[in-house]
Each structure stands twice: as structure tokens, then as C-alpha cells.
A = this chain, B = another copy of it.
Amino acid sequence: MTIQYRVLSLLRDNGPLSRAQLADRLEVPRPRLLGELDRMVAAGRVREAGPAASRGGRRSTLVQLDPGVRFAAVDLGASSIDIEITDGALAPVAACSEPADIRSGPQVVLGRVSELLHALADQGHYTRLDAIGIGLPGPVSFREGVPVSPPIMVGWNRFPVRDTLARAHSCPVVVDNDVNVMSLGEQHSGVARTVDHLLFVKIGSGIGSGMHHHGRIYRGAEGCAGDIGHVQLEADGPLCSCGNTGCLEAYFGGVALSRDATEAAKSGRSPALAERLAERGVLTPVDVAECANGGDGTSVGLIRAGGHRVGQVLATLVSFMNPSMIVIGGGLAGLGYPLLAEIRSVVYKRSLPLATGNLPIVMSGLGPRAGVVGAALLASELAYGEASVTGDAEPPVR
């Protein structure tokens, strides 16, 4: 890590610091740090912000990030675009969201992203962007900045997402999959801030996970680590969209839960769900959550059965990776306590006792914002020069 990156990320995460505080925290020889700071001030990357509070002796000068820095954080879902513009410390200065069908293809969806970004510029939220971070709902070659065989992103395979946005907005761009982006957000600004071994689990339409070790995502040999949606639970289980049987996603996730709720409504097992289905023509996980809150036993049962399946997979992962915290995020985290209780019950019962003795299992602290927070963080890492984002420190993704 360069001194420049370490200075910029400290200022991002801690606000303005005096030269003396920076020297203390960075453990770099003071003359070298001061020389670097002078160069960064001259280059406009940081600026001086008056004298710091006295610590006795000569007063040190406060240093802060250039207040004009702007990052764009883009979170693409299966059916939504969420954007935040942030300052250099990742505080949001503007945001916008709208529905969008990822299956419209990259030209349409990225075209709309660019229009929304230009509109935010026209509204005065930025004049130029320092970097863009974007999360996609599918596997991504992090090094190349392209989606790789993404199952639900029809027409996106190997589309040059990074280069397209970089050309349109004349700034560097970093692309990652949505689970990694959300887990980064949770690690940086959510419930997992001080956690060394984080297991983040996203339960949305599908199910994925991200493993962090001392604050860094573990990506694996081909960059596809964490893809647990197609772990087989029962050889003779239901058919999955991937062609195998009994996968985790064949049992749970937004798609499976909507299917099971519709079946429960039609079969007469749940009058509450049947009433909603009659009203709306279609059932979503939100309907199941609301019926469960309203006391519908069948809905509670569907949530618990799903939590049980997730818990089975997590029990194996806990024995294997021995995390220090599990965070559950994604749209279905909104199913709340019945889901969490069931996941906890299975993991605590089934994993190695030594691995669960001090293991909290909690809901995401950032909720639906996890994606944009993580995307803004990635953008800042890129702009501030962190090697792993520029691709130097990670193995090649073939």
C-alpha cells in the first residue's frame, strides 16, 4: 500500500487529521510523510484546513480530503437501478432509484445509468466524477470489468461494462458482483466494521455469499468464490433452474419463496396468501412477510423452512471457515426474526462448538443501502490507489 493510499483512506474513514496524527497512525518516518503530504497538497488531492488542537509544543496543521471529490455508486439489481453520488469520505450528496429490467440488456440499462448520472450532474451534484463503482447481479471478472456467463443477465455476457462507463464519464470504473459489493459495504460501514473473518450471506432472488479475511474479499482462483446458491442439499430434491436437483436456490430465495407461496395459496393451505393472490394476481416475498406478521402459520412455516435450508449450508461453511460473524443481507433479510431464528438454530446446533462459541449471526445493518455503500467504497479504493482494486494484488481471473 502506498503512503498516498494510506493517507487518503485514513482521511476518508476518520475525517480531517493533523499532520502529527497522520504521522502517529502511519508509522512512516516523519520527513517522508511530510514530503508526501506536500506533494498531495500541491496536486490538489488533499488540502490544509487550519491549525489542529494543540498537543503541547508547536501546533500541527489539519489535513482534509479535497471537498470537491465525487464518486458515483451504482447498484444494479434484477429489476432496479440505485445510484448515490458521494463525497470523498463516502457521505451521500445525492441519490436516485428507479425500476429497470436487467434483461433489457447492457445498452439499454447502462444507457439509462448514464442518463441518470448526467441528470445528477445537471442538478449541480457534481462537475466531474473521480471514479464509479458498480455492482452487477451476476458473476464478474473483477480484473477485466466484465460479467461472465451471468445466469439472469441475458445479453450481458462479457459486455465491457467498465470500459463503456469509463468512456461515457471520463473516469476510472470498478465493477464487481452485487454480493461482494454489499459485503464490502457491511464491512466498511455496517455491523461488521471491526470483524476480521466475516461471512456475508445475501438472500435475494438467489443466494450468494462473500468471505472476508482481515477486511479483504476472498475471491478464489477464478474469482467466483462464494457462489453457494447451487450447493446440493438433497439429491432427489426439486429441479433447479441450473438443471441440477435439490440446490439451495431450488428451496429458498425470492424465486422459490414466491413459487411456494403461490402453491400454498392455490392449494388452500393459506387463506391469507390466497386472498392476496386473488387481489394482486402474483405473490412476492413481501406478501409472505406481511402474512407471517399477520399471524398466518403457513407463511411463517415457509420462512422457517427456507431458513432451515440456508442454515444447513451455513453450518458446513462455519465449520470450514470459522468466521467471527455472519451477516444476513439482501431483500429477503426483510423476512426478519423467523428467518434469523431458524438460521441461528441450525448453525448453532450443527457446527463445531469451538466455531460457534463466539459467533454472532445478525441482520445487515445497512439494509438496501449495502450495495451503494460498497460500490462507493470500491470507487474510492480505485481513486485512492489501492492495489487490489487496480488488479495488482489479486491472482488473474481467467
Contacts and interface: CB of A to CB of B under 8 A. Distances in A.
Identical subunits present: 2
Among the interface residues A139, A219, A352, which one has the most CB atoms of the partner chain B within 10 A? Answer: A352
Contacts of A149: 354
A358 B228 CA distance: 19
Nearest to A197: B221
A196 B209 contact: no
Interface residues of A, number: 44
- At the interface, is chain A mostly helix, strand, loop or mixed? loop
A164 to B, nearest CB: 23
Interface string A331-363: 000000000000000000010101101110000
Contacts of A324: 221
A319 interface: yes
Given A139-B354, A213-B213, A398-B358, A322 B228 contact: no
Contacts of A357: 222
A358 B221 contact: yes
B312 A222 contact: no
A214 to B, nearest CB: 8
Contacts of A312: 232
A315 B233 CA distance: 11
A155 interface: no
B213 A319 contact: no
A230 B351 CA distance: 8
A304 B232 CA distance: 19
A230 B352 contact: yes
A321 interface: yes
Interface in A146-168: 148-149
Nearest to A234: B234
